[in-house]
């Protein structure tokens, strides 16, 4: 299905033509070479004179540039060979999206071909999957307004983790605006970081979520306090990209996937790509980053996904084609893929490679070693391994005293970042994700919260099961807090992991909340509903 795609979610006015390889149906499922299919892309980016993106100026640019890029594409192809028109339906800036939607409707009617509405973030994922040939990868999207990790499960792309405040590119732009640098800020940070040295800055990972606001405030403060700008830029990159890489590895560990693709304009950063490649190599996973023209916002990815959707019959009438500035990737019903899941059941093994540690399993004890992560700066890595080992030992023992089943801690080596623990359970919860088991997890988390701390990374991989017993393990990301927001985030992390792994996620979610309600504070569940509805989690 040959498709003309139009992109215009924020700054990039772009049009493209995609001609699939001969005989391809748009979604064969077979591995294909990265160059398969011809993609012609014409773009005209909006570059503000100062500050960040101004919505009104961006819309004015879009209204002038979209006709130009469409005309340039049509000047190089036979319009009679276009089988469908695809456009970026969201997420993005409303005024820009409406201009693109109007242009796509007009063109589809003029050519008398079907109209396809594409989710911009899913397109970032799909272009990587298409060009890599991977069958079912985890995807890290790192763009200006978004930052999240996605995996395919139960007919949708599930958000396994995401930013708690702002997109990674926007976060870097806020920092560079503080310095008076022009937009976009990411490439300028990358250039300045080449000669920098490491400074200690905040590092915030909560399960598979992450936060940039505190880090950016600290970076601004460091510059204001007289630290060298190159050192701050270097440290900013080291922390931001290590956070993204850690979360991507947690997603690989949770799902059991051995494929990772990168999407989004920030993915053009060489240091981020290098970290992800190093992490995947250490895990024995495959990593793919598309060439830069497919990482930054572009209509090529819209045309490629539009082709898959059109083949599947996923088209829109003019009346159905309204845009959605808050169009989340997990709202998309994936029509162009069959059954399957990125989540795979773990294999029995004497040694398990988790997201941050290797666990050697003996008959009665396990030895958990937080081995150095080559992708992280050595100073940062040593600090995290030392702090997390100590925190895990302390909170694991504290949880036992609150009545939550956990392993006995026999020994902790803070310098090495290793622990000796009792072997508990026969399998991970991931192997028996039933409502009854999950209900018990809700009861356990309620007890932890009542005692004044959170687990920090509650997922089915961090719960062990045995007949009549459900154990909670791996408290390395836990911390003391009495805030309902933090308690609700614990629940939020667990429920998202259910959405990406459970066969009956809704029944499990209801059972989990029933268990929490039985022993916990109802206000936490109310805060959970607020978290789910906030714009910052979109």
The question of whether 457 is a catalytic residue gets the answer yes
Nearest to 457 by CA among 410, 396, 538, 380: 396
Euclidean distance between CA atoms 471 and 465, whole angstroms: 6
336 burial via Cβ count (<10 Å: 0-12, 13-18, 19+): middle
Helix boundaries (H) for 79-118 = 94-111
Angle between helices 505-519 and 484-501 (to 10 degrees): 150
What is each CA distance from 171 to 33, 85, 210, 243, in whole angstroms?
35, 33, 12, 13
Question: What are the b/e assignments for 1-25, b being 16+ CB within 10 Å?
Answer: bbbbbbbbbbbbbbbbbbbbeeebe
**Within 13 Å and on the Cβ side, how many CA atoms surround 218?**
16
β-partners of residue 419 are 368, 412
User: How many CA atoms are closer than 13 Å to the CA of 113, on its beta-carbon side?
Assistant: 22
With the C-alpha atoms ordered 192, 197, 201, 205, is the resulting torsion angle positive or negative? positive
Q: Which of 275, 319, 475 is nearest to 395 (CA)?
A: 475
Give 12's strand partners.
45
The Cα–Cα gap between 360 and 27 comes to 41
For 226, residues 6+ apart whose C-beta sits below 8 A from its C-beta are: none
Angle at 392 (CA atoms; ends 423, 350), nearest 5 degrees: 30
CA angle 15-315-312, nearest 5°? 100
Strand runs labelled E in 216-288: 259-263, 286-288
CA distances from 98 to 23, 301, 302, 315, 329 (A): 35, 19, 16, 18, 19
Is residue 225 exposed (0-12), middle (13-18) or buried (19+ Cβ within 10 Å)? exposed
Select which of 165, 231, 330, 457 is catalytic. 457
Is the distance from CB of 293 to CB of 320 less than 8 angstroms?
A: no
Tell me the C-alpha to C-alpha distance, in Å, between residue 22 and each of 77, 78, 163, 338: 17, 17, 40, 22
Catalytic residues: 457
């Amino acid at each position: 299905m040959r498709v003309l795609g139009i992109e215009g979610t924020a700054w990039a006015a772009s049009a493209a033509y995609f001609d699939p390889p001969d005989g391809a149906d748009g979604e064969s499922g077979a591995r294909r070479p990265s160059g398969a299919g011809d993609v012609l892309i014409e773009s005209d980016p909006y570059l503000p004179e100062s500050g960040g993106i101004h919505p009104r100026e961006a819309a004015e640019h879009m209204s002038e540039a979209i006709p130009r890029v469409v005309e340039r594409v049509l000047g190089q192809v036979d319009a009679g060979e276009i089988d469908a028109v695809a456009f970026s339906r969201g997420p993005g800036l409303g005024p820009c999206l409406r201009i693109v939607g109007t242009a796509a409707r007009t063109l589809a009617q003029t050519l008398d071909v079907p109209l396809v509405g594409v989710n911009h973030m899913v397109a970032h994922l799909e272009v990587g999957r298409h060009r890599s040939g991977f069958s079912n990868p985890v995807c890290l999207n790192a763009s200006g307004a978004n930052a999240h990790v996605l995996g395919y499960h139960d007919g949708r792309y599930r958000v396994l983790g995401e930013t708690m405040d702002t997109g990674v590119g926007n976060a870097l732009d806020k920092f560079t605006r503080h310095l008076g640098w022009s937009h976009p800020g990411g490439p300028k940070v990358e250039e300045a970081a080449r000669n920098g040295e490491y400074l200690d800055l905040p590092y915030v990972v909560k399960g598979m979520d992450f936060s940039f606001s505190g880090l950016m405030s600290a970076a601004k403060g460091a510059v204001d306090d007289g630290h060298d700008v190159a050192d701050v830029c270097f440290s900013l990159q080291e922390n931001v990209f290590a956070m993204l890489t850690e979360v991507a590895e947690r997603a690989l560990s949770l799902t059991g996937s051995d494929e990772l693709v990168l999407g989004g304009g920030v993915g053009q950063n060489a240091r981020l790509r290098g970290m992800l490649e190093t992490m995947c190599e250490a895990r024995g996973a495959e990593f793919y980053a598309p060439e830069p023209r497919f990482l930054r916002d572009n209509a090529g990815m819209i045309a490629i996904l539009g082709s898959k959707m059109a083949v599947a019959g996923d088209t829109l009438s003019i009346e159905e084609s309204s845009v959605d500035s808050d169009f989340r990737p997990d709202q998309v019903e994936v029509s162009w893929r069959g059954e399957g899941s990125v989540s795979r059941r773990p294999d029995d093994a004497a040694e398990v490679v988790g997201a941050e540690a290797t666990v050697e399993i003996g008959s009665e004890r396990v030895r958990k070693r937080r081995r150095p992560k080559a992708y992280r700066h050595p100073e940062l890595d040593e600090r995290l391994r030392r702090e997390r080992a100590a925190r895990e030992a302390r909170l694991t023992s504290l949880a036992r005293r609150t009545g939550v089943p956990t392993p006995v801690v026999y020994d902790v080596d803070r310098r090495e970042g290793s622990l000796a623990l009792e072997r508990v359970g026969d399998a991970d919860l991931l192997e028996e994700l039933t409502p009854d088991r999950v209900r018990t997890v809700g009861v356990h988390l309620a007890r932890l919260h009542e005692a004044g701390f959170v687990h920090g990374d509650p997922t089915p991989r961090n719960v062990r099961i045995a007949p009549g017993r459900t154990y909670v393990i791996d408290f390395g990301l836990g911390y003391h807090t009495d805030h309902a927001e933090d308690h609700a985030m614990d629940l939020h992390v667990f429920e998202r992991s259910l959405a990406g792994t459970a066969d009956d996620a809704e029944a499990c979610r209801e059972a989990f909340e029933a268990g929490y309600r039985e022993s916990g504070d109802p206000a936490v569940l109310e805060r959970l509903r607020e978290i789910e509805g906030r714009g910052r989690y979109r």
